[in-house]
Amino acid sequence: MPGIEFLIKALTPLNLLLAVGGVVAGTVIGALPGLTATMAVAVLVPLTFGMEPASALIALGAIYTGAIYGGAYAAVLLNTPGTPSAIATTFDGYPMAKRGDGDLAITLACIASVTGGLVGAAFLLLLAPPLAKFALKFGPVEYFWLAVFGLTLIAALSEGSVLRGLIGGCIGLLLSAMGTAEVGGDIRYTGDFKSLLGGIDVISALIGLYCVPVLMDLVATPDPHLKLTHEVAGFRLKEALNIAWKAKGNLARSSVIGTLVGILPGAGGSISSLVAYGEARRVSRNASNFGKGEPNGILATESANNATVGGGFVPTLVLGIPGTPPDAVILGALLVQGIRTGPSLFSEQSQIVYTFIYGLFLATILMLPVGLVIGRYAFKSIVSIPKAALVPSVAFLTIIGSYAVHNNAHETQQMVVLGLMAWVLGRFGFTASPIVLGLILGTIAESGFVQGYLIGNAKGSALMEFLTRPLSIAIIAFILLTLLYPLLKSRISAPKPPSHE
């Protein structure tokens, strides 16, 4: 174990306080729809400028990891992902909450987040340099296919047919093309609206596409928002630990997936949680329960997205390339502190790096008690608030959250219009998740596609560039497997008599 002496340095009272404070602040900010992990880190980063570099990093790592976990609250209790990483958590979290197991879902999310966070931090501690070299093998074409893989996964996994999901993904990608093109600088699909020149903001769209349809259905009936089938007396920790122990394989696999996807710059928690969810469902004996409140779904997504935190720090620290958007903010903070990231960081400034990594372990472990306590009160509050107070409160959060992203009223208008559009599309059987992911991945997909197209044309064939690179072939194989697996599975199992399941 490298530098155990740094563990002792990380355990100072100040660092412990910063870790607890960071986790609390991050969890609360991440829980509010519209306030992402990136915003949480960006807003609080100036507070760290006067600190020792290692302490500053511990505080920022704690805020980041807390915010990713906090995103699960709104996903479970309001069917609205607090952060894009929690999109897949809505699939089973909200059905669990609706049937009266919201408290169990929150506790499972906490356990999974801690497990994933620890695995990600362990990879960062032990395998950072070789993993960073792997990330460099991904070129523009691979990033394009990775985005397509993410969209294929969400189409296959979200409610409704795969075709509808793929069409939804295309809608999201077309929406992401609105505004000024990143490659070429064209003004596209803006009509006469100057407010669309900057394109559609992903966070405002995320808030609208998820929150507004929920509000529209909440006001339509007098039924209570969530069922409460039992007295909320504890955390249901023992029950959750039993479920998590039985699903240890799922937790380990999802955490490793989260870490590996996290080291790919730009991919982030939204893809890792989907990949982990898809794998969990594929290997599960209860695959048909996924999407209906299956605890393994929450364990997969929450462990994966928190493992992305450690994974994302690998290219950030070793290569100076931010793995995820919050890493970009943290990279900026590192430069302010006078730390130069790069391959030599682990040898030349080992004290700072290892103290930070142990601090990340510390913050992740502290997330268990902190997260359980905050989660319990979040659950109790949401179930006990009458609908007449909940609806305007959530509506105000959507308005203030979408405005605060860039202090722009146009983005609030976009949020409402997209939300109303999502509600109408929902009536036609098209869910929000593929559209949101299309919007999120649109930039990665387009820049990868256009760069690959240019490189391919320069070499003589764009098609060959997209189809013949070894890593591309591997990702394409996964895409085909995702699309065809349900079909193959049903064909293989068709001649057999109905199983006992």
Partner 1 sequence: MNKSKRDLSGIIASIVFAVIGGLAIYHSRDFSPLGSVFPRTIAAAMIVLCAVYVAVALLRPIDIERPQPGSAARRVALAIALLAWALLLEPVGFLLTSIVCFAATLVIANYDRWTPRLAVVYAAVGILVLGTLYGVFSYVLQVPFPKGVML
Q: Applying CB under 8 A, which residues contact partner 1? A: 43, 161, 163-164, 166-167, 170-171, 173-174, 177, 181, 183-186, 188-189, 212, 215-222, 386-393, 395-397, 399-400, 403-404, 407, 409, 412-413, 415-417, 419-420, 423, 425-430, 445-446, 449-450, 453-454
Of the pair 222, 495, the CB lying nearest partner 1 is at 222
Q: How far is the CB of 188 from partner 1 (least distance, A)?
A: 6
CA-based nearest residue to 9, from 353, 311, 369? 353
Q: How far is the CB of 235 from partner 1 (least distance, A)?
A: 26
What is the amino acid identity at position 312? G
CB nearer to partner 1: give 191 or 338. Answer: 191
Number of H helices, E strands in the chain: 21, 2
Contact 186, 180 (CB under 8 A): yes
Alpha helix stretches (DSSP H) within 101-228: 102-136, 140-157, 162-176, 202-220
**Shortest Cβ distance from residue 233 to partner 1 (Å)?**
26
Task: Provide the minimum distance between the beta carbon of 283 and partner 1 in the complex, in angstroms, as a whole number.
Answer: 26
Query: Is the CB of residue 440 less than 8 Å from the CB of residue 274?
Result: no
Give the shortest CB-392-to-partner 1 separation in angstroms.
4
What b/e string do you get for 215-226 counting C-beta neighbours within 10 Å, with b at 16 or more?
Answer: bbebeeeeeebb
Distance CA 463, CA 454 (A): 11
Closer residue to partner 1, CB minimum distance, 57 or 151: 151
In the bound state with partner 1, the residue whose beta carbon lies nearer, of 221 and 347, is 221
Paired tokens of 117: 């966070």
Report the nearest approach of partner 1 to the CB of residue 114 (Å). 27
Instruction: Compute the distance between CA of residue 413 and CA of residue 401 in angstroms, rounded to an integer.
Output: 12
Least distance to partner 1, CB of residue 340, Å: 31
Q: In terms of CB distance, is 64 or 403 closer to partner 1?
A: 403
Q: In angstroms, how far is the first alpha carbon of the chain from the final one?
A: 46
Q: What is the DSSP letter of 320?
A: S
Nearer to partner 1 (CB atom), residue 410 or residue 469: 410
Q: Which CB, 284 or 451, lies closer to partner 1? A: 451
Distance of CA 304 to the CA centre of its chain: 8
How far is residue 63's CA from residue 445's CA, in Å, rounded to a whole number? 29
